[in-house]
């Protein structure tokens, strides 16, 4: 029954039934969590053999003979840079391997721009009082957290099904030199799960920013995180930027947080020689080197890019059924009501649901009261402000299929109940 066009009486009856269903779920005292993009224990188990990959002192040597247990090798061991060069599609010379968190590397990159001018004639961003950052919405809350912490005015730009609205991005970037960058999750975007089209990537590569020190924060978090026989493909931004002479525009990031361990993976960044030299001038004082034993553990476990891809197929086998549960429940329980829309991603970690405008907060509240924790409504927007109060990010990875089935039943009831309340 479409809620928007049905009779008042029919809606009242529906609401009553929903309330009854909701109360019965509530009475079960459940505790289910679809809030964060956390791998499940079964996914983490896949990488357990990695912890057994180094036993003897001789196994602690990198391929070039370096003792990974000791100091040195600021940029990370070469075989690990090679691995990330495959993941990011760039030359290993342009790769820097860091600690366990790509978010931390992004934070460090923005911090570097805050304190240190990228060019002789530019200003550290801390001293650009009206500094601004473009935030495609819905987007990743922790990206917005970084630019929020550093006092940027965050400009939301709509995400389309093929990436950010590039008409808006181009206009903003070319006209305002206080706009210093844009956050991107180009493949299986957080949260909508879409992948930027070739045209969008080409338009990114062709940007003509008013700010000489404008940078594209290209967070390729889900570069190999397919869950479908028809995975998305992403055009290589660095290649495109080389064609346009814009290779200094992007700074790229990825990690093994959702490949091996979220709490003990390896992260990397990649950028042009100019940018890398800039970052390395700072890293040279910031550390003697990141954890090389963990880099080695990863390269010994995966051996090469094919090894990672084979490993990701195991993740897919665990994740795909969970995404299917979410999508089946949304379709079977929400489609008729015509009060919500959602994405159907080929990979990544999220399904993005737009519930009836003005009800997202209420849906999250209803769910929480029934024991189902969701990402806070609005979290996918800068300042937590979703002007339509509509977007909810669903993270299916952590709960079991059984838990997810129940949680989605509750979610769908809550989405309908909140809509019925709103429309009554």
Q: Which residues bind a copy of itself (CB under 8 A)?
A: 36, 38-39, 41, 44-45, 47-48, 51-52, 54-57, 60, 67-73, 99-101, 103-104, 107-108, 111, 114-115, 124, 126-127, 142, 145-146, 148-150, 257, 261-264, 281-282, 284-294
Examine residue 204 and say whether the peptide bond preceding it is cis (omega within 30 degrees of 0). no
Least distance in Å: CB of 110 to a copy of itself? 10
Least distance in Å: CB of 219 to a copy of itself? 14
- For a copy of itself, give the closer residue by CB, 38 or 215: 38
391-394: strand order across its sheet: 341-342, 351-354, 391-394
CB 222 within 8 A of CB 184: no
Q: How far is CA 218 from the centre of its chain?
A: 10
Backbone angles phi, psi at 286, to 5 degrees: -85, -20
- For a copy of itself, give the closer residue by CB, 12 or 288: 288
Least distance in Å: CB of 121 to a copy of itself? 18
Examine residue 191 and say whether the peptide bond preceding it is cis (omega within 30 degrees of 0). yes
CB within 8 Å of 7: residues ≥ 6 apart? none
> Residue 56 and residue 53: Cα distance in Å, rounded?
10
- For a copy of itself, give the closer residue by CB, 49 or 158: 49
- For a copy of itself, give the closer residue by CB, 257 or 359: 257
Backbone angles phi, psi at 300, to 5 degrees: -70, -35
Least distance in Å: CB of 313 to a copy of itself? 20
CA angle 267, 273, 275 (to 5 degrees): 65
- For a copy of itself, give the closer residue by CB, 73 or 232: 73
Angle at which helices 198-205 and 237-244 pack, to 10 degrees?
A: 40
- For a copy of itself, give the closer residue by CB, 245 or 263: 263
Q: Which tokens belong to 365?
A: 């509240």
- For a copy of itself, give the closer residue by CB, 67 or 176: 67
- For a copy of itself, give the closer residue by CB, 39 or 136: 39
Least distance in Å: CB of 322 to a copy of itself? 16
Least distance in Å: CB of 229 to a copy of itself? 28
Least distance in Å: CB of 159 to a copy of itself? 22
Q: How far is CA 96 from the centre of its chain?
A: 20
DSSP tally for the chain: helices H, then strands E: 13, 13
Q: How far is CA 140 from the centre of its chain?
A: 6
> Residue 353 and residue 349: Cα distance in Å, rounded?
13
> Residue 104 and residue 231: Cα distance in Å, rounded?
28
Residue 342: strand pairing partners:
353
- For a copy of itself, give the closer residue by CB, 40 or 275: 40
Least distance in Å: CB of 308 to a copy of itself? 17
Least distance in Å: CB of 415 to a copy of itself? 27
Q: What separation in angstroms does the CA of 310 have from each of 302, 304, 355, 382?
A: 9, 10, 37, 36
- For a copy of itself, give the closer residue by CB, 158 or 263: 263
Backbone angles phi, psi at 301, to 5 degrees: -70, -45
> Residue 272 and residue 156: Cα distance in Å, rounded?
27
Least distance in Å: CB of 276 to a copy of itself? 17
Helix (H) or strand (E) holding 313: helix 305-334
> Residue 177 and residue 212: Cα distance in Å, rounded?
8
């Amino acid at each position: 029954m479409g809620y928007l066009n049905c009779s008042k009486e029919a809606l009242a009856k529906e609401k009553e039934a929903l309330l009854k269903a909701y109360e019965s779920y509530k009475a079960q005292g459940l505790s289910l969590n679809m809030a964060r993009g956390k791998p499940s224990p079964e996914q983490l188990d896949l990488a357990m053999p990695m912890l057994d990959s180094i036993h003897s002192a001789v196994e602690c040597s990198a391929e070039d003979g370096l003792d990974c247990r000791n100091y040195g090798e600021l940029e990370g061991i070469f075989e690990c840079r090679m691995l990330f060069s495959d993941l990011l599609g760039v030359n290993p010379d342009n790769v820097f391997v860091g600690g366990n968190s790509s978010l931390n590397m992004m934070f460090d990159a923005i911090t570097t721009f805050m304190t240190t001018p990228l060019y002789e004639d530019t200003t550290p961003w801390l001293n650009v009082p009206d500094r601004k950052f473009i935030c495609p919405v819905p987007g990743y809350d922790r990206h917005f957290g970084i630019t929020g912490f550093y006092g940027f005015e965050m400009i939301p730009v709509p995400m389309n099904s093929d990436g950010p609205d590039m008409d808006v991005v181009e206009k903003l970037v070319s006209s305002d030199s206080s706009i210093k960058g844009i956050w991107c999750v180009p493949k299986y975007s957080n949260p909508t799960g879409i992948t930027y089209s070739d045209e969008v990537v080409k338009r990114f590569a062709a940007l003509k920013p008013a700010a000489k020190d404008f940078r594209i924060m290209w967070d390729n978090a889900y570069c190999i995180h397919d869950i479908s026989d028809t995975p998305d493909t992403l055009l290589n931004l660095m290649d495109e930027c080389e064609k346009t002479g814009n290779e200094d525009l992007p700074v790229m990031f990825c990690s093994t947080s959702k490949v091996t361990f979220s709490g003990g993976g390896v992260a990397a960044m990649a950028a042009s020689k100019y940018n890398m030299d800039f970052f390395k001038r700072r890293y040279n004082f910031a550390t003697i080197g990141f954890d090389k034993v963990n880099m080695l553990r990863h390269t010994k476990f995966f051996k090469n890019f094919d090894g990672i891809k084979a490993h990701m197929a195991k993740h897919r086998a665990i994740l795909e059924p969970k995404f299917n549960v979410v999508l089946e429940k949304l379709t079977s329980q929400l489609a008729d009501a015509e009060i919500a829309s959602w994405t159907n991603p080929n990979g990544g970690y999220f399904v993005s649901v737009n519930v009836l405008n003005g009800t997202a907060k209420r849906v999250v509240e209803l769910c929480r009261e029934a024991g189902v924790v969701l990402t806070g409504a609005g979290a996918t927007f800068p300042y937590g402000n979703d002007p339509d109060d509509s977007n909810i990010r669903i993270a299916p990875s952590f709960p079991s299929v059984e838990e997810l089935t129940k949680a989605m039943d509750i979610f769908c009831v809550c989405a309908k109940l909140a809509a019925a309340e709103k429309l009554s």
